[in-house]
Amino acid sequence: MPAVTVENPLTLPRVTVQNDAVARPVLAVTTAPSGFEGEGFPVRRAFAGINYRHLDPFIMMDQMGEVEYAPGEPKGTPWHPHRGFETVTYIIDGVFDHRDSNGGGGTITNGDTQWMTAGAGLLHIEAPPEHLVVSGGLFHGLQLWVNLPAKDKMMAPRYQDIRGGSVQLLTSQDGGALLRVIAGELDGHQGPGITHTPITMIHATLAPGAEVTLPWREDFNGLAYVMAGKGAVGAERRPVHVGQTAVFGTGSSLTVRADEQQDSNTPDLEVVLLGGRPIREPMAHYGPFVMNTREELQQAFEDFQKGRLGTIPAVHGMSEGGL
């Protein structure tokens, strides 16, 4: 970890912060509980315990792994429906195949991201390819759910395959931090992900002892999730470690710092930084559906049960008509 890197970060564009930038304070640091998803792969629930007013427009995020599978162990999800939001799947190590009932999907691997706009609804499956099931191997990634505003919830589904080599690479002033802009904008540099809800998603790697302060849109919220290592966040240097999420308050910049000493198996601090413009609409969320009202949720379940979200393609060797 991670797959997308450079030998000398100082060859990259450097991020600058205005002298009058207002530092965002740290409102809270939470620790993600562990659980299992799909057919049994381990996850950390990154946003558990955080009030939704600090998350909006984000709904949930799971860190999948990091796990070293033995032969026969790799797992995915069964066919399942989605409606009303977007899933962002970022694979740091390993391989995942995605398919849907509209014929979309593909394979993502080290450093790739798949952005699926579920919109009006579809059936979807995520699974390791057969060769990985046979061989086993390292698997590590993230899945983020991004809400859609009411006007876009019933739009046509869409896929974006964002290859690791297409992300925007930046660095801090001293080269101690490598910043991968997956979506949104940072200091005038645009990531490749096309978003309906304005957001920024960055994977930052900080060398031991490195510190980076980033300009941050004042109309966005601010979150930092630690995938590996230990460090501190905010001007007040609030300690954080793997599996923890920092919630930032208002301001125009945010700061992350890596501890001088890291664990031998985690040489750097690995952090996902998220910001988004809050939608500020009522949210009704249950299982795989995220709508605005309870009635819309009930309609989504009815549409799924009646096959209106699609059928499982026969090419996958499974019966058509649902789960």
- CA dist 146 and 84 (Å) reads 9
Token pair for residue 113? 């991201």
List helix spans (H) across the chain.
52-55, 130-135, 294-305
Residue 114, number of CB atoms within 10 A of its CB: 22
Residue 166 neighbours by CB under 8 Å, 6+ apart: 192
Closest CA to 304 of 314, 291, 315, 316: 291
296 is in an annotated binding site: no
Are 78 and 323 in contact by the 8 Å Cβ rule? The answer is yes
* Tokens 């957001």 belong to residue: 199
Write down the number of H helices and E strands in the chain: 3, 26
126 is in an annotated binding site: yes
Token pair for residue 150? 């009411």
Specify which residues 103 forms β-bridges with. Answer: none
Q: Are strands 185-186 and 244-248 parallel, antiparallel or unpaired?
A: unpaired
124 is in an annotated binding site: yes
82 is in an annotated binding site: yes
Instruction: Kindly list the distances between the CA atom of residue 323 and the CA atoms of 119, 170, 297, 301, 310, in Å, as whole numbers in the listed order.
Output: 20, 43, 19, 13, 11
Rg (CA), the chain: 19
Length of the chain: 323
Residue 80 neighbours by CB under 8 Å, 6+ apart: 123, 124, 125, 288, 323
Strands (E), 222-314: 222-228, 230-233, 238-241, 244-248, 253-258, 269-276, 284-286, 289-291
Residues in binding site: 80, 82, 124, 126
Residues in binding site for Fe cation: 80, 82, 124, 126
